Amino acid sequence: MGSKGEGGNNFITYTGMIWLLAAQLAVMLPFMFDLPIWLVPVLLFTAGWRLRVLAGLSSQPGNVTKVALVGLGLGGLLLSGLKFPSLDAMAALLLLGFAFKSLEVLQRRDAIVVIFIGYFLVALQFLYTQSMLAALYGFLSMVVLTGALVGAQQSVVEFSTGQNVRFNLRLALFMLLQCLPLMVVIFVFAPRLPPLWSLPLSTGQAKTGITDHMAPGDIEKLGKSDELAFRVTFKGQRPAQHELYWRGLVLNHFDGREWRQFEQDYDLPALRGALHTSYRWRPGNVQAQGEAIAYEAIYEKTGQPWLFTLTPAMQVEGEVMQGADYRVMARQELQAPFLLKAVSYPQALRDVQLDPYLRRLALLLPASGDARSRDLARRLWQETGNPQAYLAKVLERFHTRGYEYTLNPPTLGDSDTIDGFLFDSQRGFCAHYAGSFVFLMRAVGIPARVVVGYQGGEWNEAGQYLAVHQYDAHAWAEVWLPETGWQRVDPTTVVAPSRAEQGLEAAVQAEGSFLADSPFSTRKIAWLNGVRQQLDAVQYGWRRWVLGYDQEEQAALLKSMLGSLSVVKVALLAGSLFSAIAISWLVLLGMARRRPREALEHRLYRQFCAALAKRGVQRSPGDAPGVFADEAAAALPRLADSIREFTQVYEGICYAPDATARASTRQLKALLRKLS
């Protein structure tokens, strides 16, 4: 049913199977970052078996073998820890079938089914990542798939191996490039619908970045990661570095070790309900003053709803919710890059009259525990007697008592953690300082709360935007004071002023702990850091103008092209572009319908005939190669052996093609040189 180099009209060839295997590998590899990696060996095993069958070295697997393999594959999926039902499980099941299909690829139609599944899987990969690199790889996968589609139609060896690869890839690329203008027109003019990749990938997907609780050591872990959190473009002048406090969550509940936003783990539907009742956003509680800061932020996928803005964000565009604690949240967990446009007034007065519910939250403390810290708070309050002086006294203690800022603080145990930090270790990260400061405020009846988010960011000169990474994660405090409302207080800057002015790297430079777990980070090599920033600027452009191309961006673009928008204008423009593309296709197809390129062996034979003609032996148009060889050998007896050998090799290529065709054409060239 097909040996190497053979194939009936409907059966796939050995070369076609090689193409199919290459296409399957290209399609499956990106999924290995998110799905079980053992799927690739399964593909190699099944494809290897199929190749041996085509080469006549193995027999076709029977139905019992196929059922057994499918059972083993399903068992492997069950043991891989994937949740059922979920998109991860469904994608893994589809990939398993995609690999096993190799076992029964016999005819062209079987290969075409596999290739069409491959096209679907290329689209499915964008549910996992939408980066520009993923888009480029997806295009390359499409080229290989289309090359395999071309290869599946080849029933005999029409070219040498190198010629086959070049021909298939060139034709595949030509076909896909013809589709590019149509793709652009559809992208620009088609109604903008919510992307499929906004759906959750699985019921148990990993969450990244800042969470809704803070224990000693949590934010330090983020401080060792250079993963991107979000990027920001400012509409006007960029604020100073020390003013860039990106607010995410407010943590009010402390259990002696951990700070949380709520007493229990949050449920997103319940949280939505809370933001519409007692915890809802109250614009009237803000008195705007100072200069406004307008900006756009694109947040990376985290699997969480938290967004990070300058406080307070008075004008927000996007599918978001706002809370009474000045948080901004997406309505769904972020499963894709999320664009937010906002205007903030950092100097505004907030909650000059504090709501009783918020006051109660800002005074919560455990009934017992951390006795030394409570005694310290009482002594300092007796020495000062008013909130402003007390606040200054606490900050002075951090500044003068030998406290240190470090990414590697000692552990504090599970109880009396505030005492352990203030009196014993005195070495900590931002979470230690913010948490202990808020504890000391609440211990004397001053409303205070912990705020977690990011501070600062890396300015990208090439792209003119701010990139905020996980190592910029930060915690600070807010204190409520009469007549001024909520005020930001960052006790970390008392110990390490460079943290807010120059960033984490400068703050921990002495101990050398910045990205210590990433010794090969490009940030540590000057010229590589410049390349990284350039590439990041390109990626930001992709996020902003391609993934961020929504209904508003589409309307703005069409208005710039057409002036006022109307259905008739848009239809005429789109119709004109479609017509232009159709005409271009017709022209390109007409240009492509040229005489097929002459095979190399035929060109060499024409040169052979021309060389003999110069010696006086002319070939008649009706002479077969063997007849002409006999005539030429008789006329040129000194060259008779070379003439007959050349003709024999030529006839072998024409009438008995095999994998040695390339070597044979080289032999023809050598013989031709003897006759010239």
Catalytic residues: 430, 474, 490
Look up residue 193 and give its two tokens.
């619908």
> Which amino acid is residue 586, in one-letter code?
L
- 450 forms beta bridges with 251, 477
Report, in angstroms and rounded to the nearest whole number, the Rg of the chain calculated over CA atoms: 35
Q: Are strands 306-307 and 458-460 parallel, antiparallel or unpaired?
A: unpaired
Task: Name, in order, each residue with C-beta under 8 angstroms of 291's C-beta and a sequence gap of 6 or more.
Answer: 345, 347
SS3 sequence, 450-512?
EEEEEECCEEECCCCEEEEEHHHEEEEEEEEECCCEEEEECCHHHHCCHHHHHCHHHHCCCCC
CA 1 to chain centre: 44
Look up residue 1 and give its two tokens.
């049913």
Structure letter (DSSP) for residue 197: G
Task: Name, in order, each residue with C-beta under 8 angstroms of 464's C-beta and a sequence gap of 6 or more.
Answer: 233
User: What CA–CA distance (Å, rounded) separates 163 from 659?
Assistant: 12
> Which amino acid is residue 150, in one-letter code?
V
Task: Name, in order, each residue with C-beta under 8 angstroms of 320's C-beta and a sequence gap of 6 or more.
Answer: 307, 328, 329, 330, 331, 340
**Residue for token pair 């240190």:** 404
**Residue for token pair 């211990």:** 443
User: What CA–CA distance (Å, rounded) separates 381 from 374?
Assistant: 11
CA 314 to chain centre: 31
In a 10 Å sphere around its CB, with 0-12 CB exposed, 13-18 middle and 19+ buried, how is residue 241 labelled? middle
